[in-house]
Structure 1
């Protein structure tokens, strides 16, 4: 994304401020109004709608407060673009929420039933489909990754902890598995990485392949254990900083970071095999049609007796099937080409396309909710620094919505995050 001036303009966000109009809007907007009002009226939220000077209407059964400042724009955007319009209406300031994450958590908990069952069958006719230029094939994947991860290393530094880990942390837990608070983010990020290295047996002399470098923390910690690490990424910004961090840590002789698509590894390094293959929250960018290729590539390069450790954001299998191929606000503005698997989908793909099987799963979705809460708090506190980097007010609202929208998914249980270990059962036997 091109950096915008600190104050948003229509030129810096093409099309965003264009309001829906025409015959379709005349039909869709009133329908959206009825559906929205019916939905929130049975939820534990409070929706305050501005009808004019000094005039307000309140809906809902009480709970986190949403304020709709420009209802005609709000309904028109939802009528035209559904949840994409819902997100864009927040970006333009058509609505606000005092506790954005709390409000969205209530919605996320009812996601499957917000639209009446009688209308679910018609959903495929009106929901936008993923555009062809968001297909994460070899020709497009690098550009899709750059849209998010090459925004600015300095931007990510503003809200990530010192490890620069951009994935769920693993906090100390109470007996129910929920994170104990207060929780130190850096310590929890290290715990997450060290656990993944432990369960895959990474140690002195281990040959490690990492798919998705991030900013290098996992690679340098594996190297500090004595492993030899080959890490691949498609982000030029991350590549540069990860190499710098690895060198500063004094392990550059044991870490090779390469700008490379995971599909090209067997061709570019023929015959090379690894004792451990690690990939933290990268499968979400692979695309459902490429999951067989992703796991087959891992199977090809995994040495006999090796283990695979994947950290993956997942969703329920039925919701995955219902939303596959749909174009979402997250796709349009945050992660183009992204799609979340279910645990069942991972089990089925590996069973049908590889010799590997799932051997262990640790789910800790509530820990992601806390991770995102801390990221958002840091992000909002860095307003002046963001402005100096050139990110404007619309970007702030967009990123705040992204972080809180994601937090709501985990807090409600709609989403989960798992560390999944894959092994070859015949070798173990």
Structure 2
């Protein structure tokens, strides 16, 4: 990454209070320093205070500390939340952050000595008991991320304006144009799987910026698509109208829980992650209620190992705090349990393609970094840019390490 580190004066304490303030944790910071050395040894990472240190031969990832005391204080006080905030503050960097974060993810279970692992649940931030996606909370959480600026997303997404994993076809270049073709391939595969064609009534839960709705309308389907993001709704309506598909697709600013009717097919791409564990039964019941008997549901979801999901379900992470509040990535086992308990649907097709998500994120990250001046021109400060750099690298590392995956899961309702 080429993002410049913000100076302390550049950190807006009103906007970024926990980035501007280094927590007082002198004793715990001493412990964190020792645990950091232990984790680096276990993961095969080199920690250095040499600002010019480059990636080492043999692929040894490097973590460069610019402010070791602040870094260890944040790590002691907030764990992974502190790690991300320290990066936002410019207190550490790496010549290859994805390689570093991938290595740490690969050794996730080894980074803390086994006798101390139970203390994670005592010492690290936890989610509040009232952290539910009520209708008002869901609108607020979605707006926090998706209503930032359509112009911002346009700087790093490909021409299809699709903000979910693409599906590449074999090896080849990973650039914006190949990404656009891979996004169209992903959408077409899902539409094929649910039988979307001329005359099909199709419901989409989670509009994005309208790329799937547009593609379905071009096939002759009659589309209803719902979103909680006003920014996304406005651009999706405009894109459909400009393509001459406005009469075939209706874009509603509506919660999925308030959708009525029965459709030939339902699709939902990477929206379940924002639903939250408490409301998964409501979400799957809605899918079952909204698709006709014999109809199909196409779900694209990020997934994680079931035991990891259970272990992390109450954790309050950097991603919750800064990127996606209120969400939880499900496991395939949990999806299957919800289907069995709440629906009359059966899985008829599955495809996992986590490596493609890593490549999707690679293109997004390169495009975002190349657009630094345009991001600044939109009014976003250096702390925001480093936050998004960390977010994109963190997610890419998750998929490259196999810690998380993405699947298209196709379900059919009993006749």
- Which of the five TM-score ranges fits, normalised by the shorter chain? over 0.9
Deviations 1:208-242 (CA, angstroms, capped at 9, x unpaired) = 01000000000011011110111000000000000
Task: Compute the displacement of 1:181 (Å).
Answer: 3.6
SS at match of 2:105: helix
Task: Compute the displacement of 1:134 (Å).
Answer: 4.5
Deviations 1:85-130 (CA, angstroms, capped at 9, x unpaired) = 0110101011000111111110111112212221222221122112
1:393 & 1:182 partners in 2: Cα distance?
27
1:111 & 1:276 partners in 2: Cα distance?
39
Aligned twin of 1:46: 46
Q: Tell me which of 82, 86, 104 is aligned to 1:89.
A: 86
Q: Tell me which of 191, 202, 206 is aligned to 2:200.
A: 206
Counting only pairs closer than 5 Å after superposition, residues 300-315 of structure 1 correspond to structure 2 as: 300-315=289-304
CA contact (8 A) 1:44 1:62 kept: no
Q: Segments of 4+ in structure 1 off by > 4 A?
A: none
TM-score, length-normalised on structure 2? Answer: 0.93
1:158 & 1:252 partners in 2: Cα distance?
25
1:133 & 1:385 partners in 2: Cα distance?
38
Task: Compute the displacement of 1:44 (Å).
Answer: 2.5
CA contact (8 A) 1:45 1:62 kept: no
SS at match of 1:423: strand
Counting only pairs closer than 5 Å after superposition, residues 23-422 of structure 1 correspond to structure 2 as: 25-49=25-49, 63-131=60-128, 134-173=131-170, 179-182=171-174, 184-265=178-259, 269=260, 272-422=261-411
Structure 1 unaligned blocks of 5 or more: 1-5, 174-178
SS at match of 2:196: coil
Matched, 1:16 2:19: yes
Task: Compute the displacement of 1:244 (Å).
Answer: 0.2
Figure out how many residues of one structure are paired with residues of the other and give that number. Answer: 404
Structure 2 unaligned blocks of 5 or more: 1-8
Task: Compute the displacement of 1:14 (Å).
Answer: 2.2
CA contact (8 A) 1:46 1:62 kept: no
2:217 & 2:342 partners in 1: Cα distance?
31
Name the CA shift for 1:74/1:182 in 2 (closer, same or farther; >3 Å). closer
Deviations 1:175-203 (CA, angstroms, capped at 9, x unpaired) = xxxx5444611100000000000011000
1:107 & 1:182 partners in 2: Cα distance?
24
Aligned twin of 1:3: none
Aligned twin of 2:4: none
